[in-house]
Amino acid sequence: MIGIIGGTGTESLLETYPITSETEIKTKYGTSPKISILEIDNKEVAYIPRHSEGHSVPPHKINYRANIEALKTINVNQIYATNSVGSLDTNIEPGSILIPDNFIDFTHDRISTFFDDEVVHIDCTNPYCESLRNILNESGETHPYGIYIATEGPRFETGAEIQFYKLIGGKVVGMTGVPEVVLAKERQICYSSICTVTNYAASISPNKLTITEVLDAMKDCEEKLIQLITKTIEKTNPKRDCECQHILDDAII
């Protein structure tokens, strides 16, 4: 099955597509938010709201392990995740979409692995599934690559931090992309992120950043995001095989 992890502003997906069933999955890591099974292009697609219903859980408190484990339990083998981000590059404007090809992790207080009791080292040279990235980039107008900077939150970044992240090659910054991508990889699920650019990050724009600005920009992105997801699902084969789904074969144990 194909899965969608919905971030800020994706609730309209539930109004756009028929819901065939809903369920909450209990895992050893906790209970997932309600998962809705949508019908898109005659395919079953599992939608899970990352922040739970009503956008009630802040990014640093999300139970990423429970969310990924729940999707694995219902046989999701490919995930498209939406992430709202700030831009570190004036050429990447608010309202645009970027498909990241790598990340740098600056989170510091999150459980980031399923392997607490055994020695497993997965390869994260290319953390995002290249096949899913290609499908996304073929399905709409996107910035086809860029480094995602992951921060802890819930505060926005300082101007000095943003200038540092820009200096080391970051293109966008967000609070929800990691450890989600790593956990999906550990569960051998193909994963790609759809970064919706809601604002310029601190010090990139002369204007003070507010949450209202982020939410208003996200609303403007909704139609473009839904069109991209629809075309992407149409091109995605739920039964496709991929090296992501066999990554533990090469893990160092």
Banded pLDDT at 157 (limits 50, 70, 90): very high
Positive or negative, the CA dihedral 45, 5, 88, 128 is negative
How large is the average pLDDT for residues 120-132? 96
Residue 85: both structure tokens together = 């981000």
Each domain of the chain, given as residue ranges in start order, spans 2-250
Distance in angstroms (rounded) separating the CA atoms of residues 28 and 142: 37
Distance in angstroms (rounded) separating the CA atoms of residues 7 and 247: 26
Distance in angstroms (rounded) separating the CA atoms of residues 241 and 253: 24
Distance in angstroms (rounded) separating the CA atoms of residues 146 and 97: 11
Best CATH choice for the domain 2-250 from the list 3.40.50.1580, 3.40.50.720, 3.30.830.10, 3.30.420.140: 3.40.50.1580
Banded pLDDT at 253 (limits 50, 70, 90): low
Q: Is 60 exposed, middle or buried (0-12, 13-18, 19+ CB in 10 A)?
A: middle
- pLDDT given at position 50: 95
The tens digit of pLDDT for each residue in 43-73 reads 999 999 999 887 789 999 999 999 999 999 9
Cβ atoms within 10 Å, residue 228: 23
CB 146 within 8 A of CB 92: yes
How large is the average pLDDT for residues 20-33? 96
Q: Is 161 exposed, middle or buried (0-12, 13-18, 19+ CB in 10 A)?
A: middle
Output the pTM of the full model.
0.94
Identify which of 63, 46, 70 has the alpha carbon closest to the alpha carbon of residue 179.
63
Distance in angstroms (rounded) separating the CA atoms of residues 85 and 149: 9
- pLDDT given at position 209: 63
Strands 170-174 and 78-87: antiparallel
Distance in angstroms (rounded) separating the CA atoms of residues 67 and 114: 12
The tens digit of pLDDT for each residue in 164-190 reads 999 999 999 999 999 999 999 999 999
Identify which of 62, 153, 77, 147 has the alpha carbon closest to the alpha carbon of residue 112.
62
- pLDDT given at position 134: 98
The tens digit of pLDDT for each residue in 212-232 reads 776 777 777 888 899 999 999
Distance in angstroms (rounded) separating the CA atoms of residues 72 and 27: 10
The tens digit of pLDDT for each residue in 68-108 reads 999 999 999 999 999 999 999 999 998 899 999 999 999 99
- pLDDT given at position 206: 73
